Amino acid sequence: MSVPVEVAVRDLLDTARALYGGDAPAQLDDLERRLAEPLRLAIAGIVKAGKSTLLNAIVGERVAATDAGECTRLVTWYRHATTRSVSVVARDGTSTRLPIHRAAAGHFAFDLNLPVDDVDRVEVGWPAPALKRVVLIDTPGIASLSPGTTARATGFLAPDEAAPAADAIIYLLRRLHPADMRFLAAFRDTAAGSSRTVNAIAVLSRADEIGSGRIDSLLSASKVARRYELDEHLRALALGVFPVAGLLAEGARTMRQNEFEGLRELAGLAREDREALLVSADRFVRLTGITTLGTDERRALMSRFGIFGVRLAASLIRAGVPDAPALTSEMTRQSGLDDLVEFVDGQFIGRTVALKAHGILEVLRVLLDQHPVDGASELEEGIERVSLRLSDVDELTLLSRARIEGLGLGAREDEAIRIVGGHGVAVHDRLGMDAGAEPIRLRQRLVERLDGWRAASHDPANDRRAVEAHEVVIRTLEELHEGLRARGEESRSVTSPAGGSELGPADTDDRAAADVMLSRGPRDGAGEDAHEHGEQSQAHLRGHQLP
């Protein structure tokens, strides 16, 4: 049996270091760290798209500054750590630990004590559970009025003569802008190398603003996101488009008890008083004599949740949400963050080993090209051998091709998409079975699928696209079959722990078993019957009943 992919990549890095000896390029140190840590996921987008706000929502703490300060002009890495720490790394490689304080706005802050142009990056260590499974990278906005700010983002994620340091990106857009398309195309071309794999997800950010803060704003955003998903150019660059109300998600995930109490007081006002307050953000802050909440308290609520968030919170509390944890959960779900995180878990974090390996191999290729060394043929051959084992990368490539031009499989196309992980990378998802399916039934279905696809692969009518699709599908089924066979039916379970396969760590591609749908769009029916400030249908926003 072949060694696990991570071990094979480690061997390649050892071989590279031995080849270069004392002249080993500094990139090898970063590649070794990259192999050892979780998936690197960058958050990118045009200026003021809400990147730092979304990062805070994912982490569950206000760790990233969201104002227009100097820190938003830098590349900032967020890794899991046992204690909080911030270090600034200068362009000359020196690193300086910085003191952390809480800013007046409530987020954590620090002073660089160094000109922005002299800074290479900022590194933040934070004891947040979300960072145990992913390294988040906050990048400066593109299309900035400051050429240097834009250059930092493009130079980091789409360098001219190197592979990017991120394994995948979440790209925030507010509308389809030519600058967005150019950036996504550049990232695809540099990150994918020759594979043409798409490692990006698009987010329609600040989704609550699309409907001017109305209670049905997310329904409007969902329709816009679906329209964007049909754009032929964007389909070639991103695996999906998800509407997310970032400020709502951040406010919900970091809600304090006193904020809940204030929202509950607003929910308890007479309807005419509540609607008078919630006509606009300005009126909410300035109007007096209606609530015991002071001007500063109302201004803080507006800053934290926005007019849409305050309206939604009041409606949910009136509909029966009993406490702060329940309101946090419901508002997070309504914001669209849950859909996005679930997708990222399945399609990116669920393929961590393959995506990390792919990125490392691309860097090694560039390294050998830029720093030739005698005796490199064995390393080059090893890179190609490991590349051929990255079935998850082949699956993402096939899913991207299915979105752009189809696979030429006719009635079998939907089944092919499911098998290669388009509706979730767990074995039962790939085979179209329930999560509780018995291992023996999984094996029977798998054998049936494998026999059927092998037979179909011999059809002389298959064109080039269909032949390539059959190869990927059959390879996936064979690896799943080997995983089932190697572990034995008695000890297998179809319920997986986070970050690992339901069959345990696989020796083939270590694919994880997250439960996700690739083409899953925003939830339908978001507030279709809700009045602009009305009460009656607001507990059914986004097509779900309240608990």
Q: Could you report the per-residue pLDDT of 86-145, keeping only the tens digit for each?
A: 999 999 889 999 998 887 666 788 888 788 888 999 999 999 999 999 999 999 888 765
**Start-to-end Cα distance in the chain:** 49
Structure confidence by residue, pLDDT tens digits, 22-33:
888 888 999 999
Side-chain-facing half-sphere of 331: CA atoms under 13 Å: 34
Give pLDDT, residue 73: 83
Examine the pLDDT at 360 and tell me if it is beyond 50: yes
- pLDDT given at position 48: 86
Q: What is the CATH number of domain 37-245+338-347?
A: 3.40.50.300
Name 95's bridge partners: 89
Q: What does R_g of the chain's alpha carbons equal in angstroms?
A: 25
**pLDDT tens digits, 201-251:** 999 999 988 877 677 888 999 999 999 988 888 988 999 999 999 999 999
H or E stretch at 337: helix 337-347
* For range 353-359, the mean pLDDT: 93
Which residues in the chain are classed under CATH 3.40.50.300? 37-245+338-347
| Nearest-angstrom CA–CA distance, 363 and 31 | 8
> Helix 352-370 vs helix 391-404: angle between axes, to the nearest 10 degrees?
100
Residue where the block lists tokens 């206000």: 62
Under 8 Å between Cβ of 122 and 78: no
User: Nearest-5° angle of CA 362, CA 189, CA 478?
Assistant: 60
From CA 398, how far away is CA 466, in angstroms rounded? 11
Residue 36 in this model has a pLDDT that exceeds 80:
yes
pLDDT bracket for residue 1 (50, 70, 90): low
H/E run at residue 42? strand 39-45
pLDDT in tens, 466-479: 999 999 999 999 99
Helices (H), 77-177: 147-157
Q: Are 349 and 134 in contact (CB under 8 A)?
A: yes
Paired tokens of 312: 């939604």
Q: Are 343 and 240 in contact (CB under 8 A)?
A: yes
Q: Provide the pLDDT for residue 505.
A: 31
Calpha distance 471→484 (Å, rounded): 20
Three-state SS for 208-220 is: HHCCCCCCCHHHH
Half-sphere exposure of 135 (CA within 13 A, CB side): 24
Q: What is the pLDDT of residue 192?
A: 59
> Does an H or E element contain 8, and which?
helix 5-20
Q: What band does 516 get if pLDDT is binned at 50, 70 and 90? A: very low
By the 8 A CB rule, do 95 and 87 touch? yes
pTM of the model: 0.83
Q: What pLDDT is stored for residue 193 in this prediction?
A: 53
Give one DSSP letter per residue of 466-486, joined into a string: HHHHHHHHHHHHHHHHHHHHH
